[in-house]
Amino acid sequence: GGVHFDRTQRNLDLLSFLTQQEVGEVYAVSSNQILGTRSKLDVPEDLVSTVTLDHAGPSFQLYDSFLTPHIASSVEIFGSNGCAVATDWFDANKPTSLAVIRYRQQKPIVTPHVDPYTATVEAFTAAIHSGSRLLATGDDGRYALGVTLAVQESFAKHRPITLRR
């Protein structure tokens, strides 16, 4: 499944968590021209996705790649008052970068380093002992998988894909 089922799906999980909204439409583009060669891969390893939510709000752009190591995977949230950019948020081996951009001025937001795998296990353990809410459920995973499949369909059909639940 390539970058879709690794990075893109995690970025979609982040959007769902941050917005508490469902995705209404996705549009994905890529190129077989990767690092100066023509790729014969059936699944793109370098992908840009635009995500629109069901309800009014900001639009989102996801950039995910296994083949361009000099550019971090990112989630960009575009609003009328600025843009928020998160990079490497899911990778325990890289520092997360979060910044707000307004009028071409970038303001970094300091975030504590959290190992996402440790945090997930700790939250799961807490949910077992206290009954608190899980960070993610099987339904959340199924939903993210459905959106990821829509991203793949969009790439294959060269058009936006509307999601319905």
The gap from C-alpha 152 to its chain's centroid, in whole angstroms, comes to 14
Please indicate whether residue 104 or residue 14 has the higher confidence score (pLDDT). 104
Distance between CA atoms of residues 141 and 49, nearest Å: 19
Q: Per-residue pLDDT averaged across 68-95, rounded?
A: 76
Provide the whole-model pTM: 0.72
Tokens read off for 87? 């990079």
Q: Per-residue pLDDT averaged across 87-98, rounded?
A: 74
pLDDT exceeds cutoff 90 at 76: no
pLDDT exceeds cutoff 80 at 146: yes
Q: Per-residue pLDDT averaged across 17-30, rounded?
A: 81
Distance between CA atoms of residues 58 and 54, nearest Å: 11
The gap from C-alpha 75 to its chain's centroid, in whole angstroms, comes to 6
Average pLDDT, the chain: 78
Distance between CA atoms of residues 97 and 86, nearest Å: 6
- Which is nearest to 113 in space by CA: 134, 88, 83, 76? 88
- Among residues of the chain, what percentage have pLDDT more than 90? 9
pLDDT at 49: 72
Confidence of residue 101 (pLDDT cuts 50, 70, 90): very high
SS3 state of residue 125:
helix
CA dihedral 74, 80, 82, 87 (to 10 degrees): -10
pLDDT at 127: 93
Tokens read off for 48? 């840009």
Tokens read off for 104? 């071409």
pLDDT at 130: 94
